[in-house]
A = this chain, B = another copy of it.
């Protein structure tokens, strides 16, 4: 499956070298699962994109234009990944934002990886990164284009058997993965890190918090509650179950962190089932067209 792009509605692969997205990372992005030609959690992604635009004072893109352009890209694909970049637009040199600048809208379709499904079924090996995320309360939560920190954390390992790295902040509290949020379960509580100073508020993370808060989990998960708190490494390492999540990978049960094994994934697998029932994460399938 070839990558396809629409840049400001045009089917082209290139954009001006003077875009502020390139010069300063001045913009936002979303990555969304395409399943059976549908977009998972479209409204939630749009809401986060809007929240980011408001925060950075970038004009919020027209919902209908975005939806139409995304639909045009995915109409022939049953599975894939849509990435939307909204940058502040092309501008002169300097940090000052020109008046009447028009945001750039880049929508791209990427192929699906069957590895995501495999990892959801069998669980993943992870590691603790030595890189520490900087605390930046203003930029925390939104999915902006300044992602050198994630790249630095991800560049710490080359071993393909390690699926994700877990990153702490400068005070050694667990924040998230390099590309995913993290949860751990102890007793009847789902714990996930406080992201008020760094990290990205993931759509799946929000869904899990929402489902637990609204008592939407069933069977052995019925009484599961969520606590958002500062999580030291030791707390995480003593959890009963651990999983990582994002909109593309869905939920990956954590089998190993460095040399410590976690063999219990019972509640995690039930959380996966519930999220799939609510169309919040991809369903496992063999067809990766």
Contact = CB atoms under 8 A, between A and B. Distances in A.
Contact of A110 (B85, B92, B97): B92
Given A17-B106, A97-B155, A29 B23 contact: yes
A58 to B, nearest CB: 10
A56 B148 contact: yes
Nearest to A136: B134
Contacts of A39: none
Copies of this chain, complex-wide, total: 2
Interface stretch (A137-145, A211-219, A227-235, A261-269): A137-145
Contacts of A64: none
Residue among A17, A110, A149, A179 facing the most chain B CB atoms (10 A cut-off): A17
A22 B24 contact: no
A69 to B, nearest CB: 14
A62 interface: no
Minimum-distance CB pairs A-B, first 5: A25-B25, A134-B136, A146-B146, A24-B147, A14-B14
30 contacts: A3-B18, A7-B17, A12-B17, A13-B18, A14-B15, A14-B17, A15-B22, A18-B108, A19-B22, A21-B22, A22-B145, A23-B29, A23-B85, A24-B25, A24-B151, A25-B25, A25-B147, A25-B148, A26-B148, A31-B93, A56-B148, A56-B152, A93-B110, A95-B154, A97-B155, A134-B136, A139-B148, A145-B148, A146-B146, A146-B147
